[in-house]
Amino acid sequence: MHQLLNTLYLTTEGAYLRLDHDTLRVEVERETKLQVPIHHLGGIVCFGDVLVSPAALARCAQDGRFVVFLDRNGRFQARVEGPISGNVLLRCAQHAAMREPDTTLTIARHLVGGKIQNSRQIVLRAARETDRPDDGEALRQTAEALANVLGRIPLSPDLEHLRGLEGEAARKYFATFDRMVREDRATFTLNGRNRRPPTDPVNALLSFLYALLMNDCVAALEGVGLDPQMGFLHALRPGRAALALDLMEELRSPFADRLALTLINRRQVTANQFHARPGGAVQLEEAARKEVIVAYQKRKQEEITHPVLDQKMPLGLVPHVQARLLARVLRGDLAAYPPFLAR
């Protein structure tokens, strides 16, 4: 079984990462802050003004450890890739499946189904835990509406229609997202989901967590040899990792949404950690970014039982497992893609 390797996140401005024998060394103003044997790391994520030495880049690319550069807000800038490893035959199968409308639609249905089911789960849980009856009622209504959309998925005749259902579910889900927030509702109000840039703290937090999850999804797909750009549900567009977005759908609520709510409800992030920028964008400040990353990493270490494999594993391994299950579907070893259903 694949081991969950740690990810090194560099958020300090001016940090310099260099290769020192078989270790990676992080220096800030010429002082060594951390030295890690490279075998502990699955990849490195750099935020903003961080330098990585050519030797370190080359070594990571060779070993297949991912190196990603994001801007300070977590938006993707660049990824360093080594010689395409993966499996050519698997990629061929992936491309072939894309040309089969039936196969594509079946896989896409399972992806959307998984997503809606997981959103519904988080809504129901919040409805159980809330102590305000009106919130509970509204959330239960949302859950019902989501169940209704879920029921219509098998009937969707084509991808366009399916995407419409997904959009409908997302709108319903985010319409009552606020009611899952228990602390400081004045700050943490969501005016519908918005991004590029996010214009309120909740959206900023969600966007940031989605960016972290996205990296893990791309890495997981590359790890099993799938082409992250060749998606089923998401339309192909140059530069868009469509398959990673596909894989991410069902993982959004267990990895990011629930974590965002936990951080807010436990007051681990607070109003003063967000800055409004000219033009309406809202940003997370540096210390809060670190806190969110730590929480995200901790969340990935939580033990869960995978419902399909019936095996205990850290949550962070789930994207890798799902990527492998998807590969088995594409190879024809598995009849249908089983999305990850969080409990």
Positions touching another protein (CB under 8 A) are 3, 6-12, 15, 21-23, 26, 28, 33-37, 39-41, 290, 293-294, 296-298, 301
The least CB distance from residue 15 to another protein, in Å, is 6
Compute the least distance from the CB of residue 214 to another protein, in Å: 18
Q: How far apart are CA 205 and CA 298, in angstroms?
A: 17
Q: In this complex, which beta carbon is closest to another protein, that of residue 21 or of residue 99?
A: 21
Q: Among residues 63, 42, 49, 64, which one has the least CA distance to residue 17?
A: 49
Q: Is the dihedral of CA 208, 209, 212, 217 positive or negative?
A: negative
Cα separation of 80 and 63, whole Å? 12
Residue closer to another protein (CB basis): 32 or 305 = 32
Q: Is 307 helix (H, G, I), strand (E, B) or coil?
A: coil
Residue type, 336: A
CB nearer to another protein: give 39 or 266. 39
* Residues found in the chain: 343
Distance of CA 105 to the CA centre of its chain: 22
Question: Would strands 311-314 and 303-306 be described as parallel, antiparallel, or unpaired?
Answer: antiparallel
CB 289 within 8 A of CB 46: no
Whichever of 50 and 342 has its CB closer to another protein, that residue is 50
Q: How far is the CB of 291 from another protein (least distance, A)?
A: 9
Q: Select 39 or 128, whichever has its Cβ closest to another protein.
A: 39
Q: What is the nearest approach in angstroms of another protein to the Cβ of residue 301?
A: 8
Task: Write down the least CB distance from residue 306 to another protein, Å.
Answer: 21
